[in-house]
Amino acid sequence: MKVSIVHEEPVGQGRTHLAHADLAPFGLDGYVELLWLKPNGDQTYSVSCIPFRTYGLALGDQVRLSINDEVRELVARSSHRVLRMSLMPDPIPERLTERTDSIRAEIRSAGLLSEWSSDLHLAVDIPPGINAWPLLKVMHREVLMRHALTEWADMLPFSGRQ
């Protein structure tokens, strides 16, 4: 039985289909990410959430599914990118709250969409043409203080099972 990573509050509109992406190709054997999708009407689907763990996919990308609802193939990119952050737990909950509040405020200020998985894992949608530098500075400060790790989700290509 695989462990499912779930999107509690997906950001996309028109999401009506749930499919899974196997995370084994990304070093997470035994895990799948449940992705919300919007049917395009041509046997493809648009990603309607911001992937937390799946590499090479972003909000609005078009994908094709296998017969068992597994994301099998990236058909077309949307030009969106996903910036991810994993925060380290803090023994003093108030400090973690201050840090996440600062990050949330910068995301709001930039008008960006984001999804959280607990208070420690964040995925931010970066649409084309958006200057994400102010948010990157806030995140970089957390990394320098060894409070977090960040990565771009497109640092590896999508790899679905064939």
Question: What sections of the chain are H helices per DSSP?
Answer: 93-110, 133-144
What does the pLDDT look like over 45-66, one tens digit per residue? Answer: 999 999 999 999 999 999 999 9
What does the pLDDT look like over 64-94, one tens digit per residue? Answer: 999 999 999 999 999 999 999 999 999 999 9
Per DSSP, what are the bridge partners of residue 26? none
Q: Can you list the domains of the chain with their CATH numbers?
A: 3-76 (no CATH), 81-155 (3.30.70.600)
pTM of the entire predicted model: 0.93
In eight-state DSSP terms, residue 92 is: S
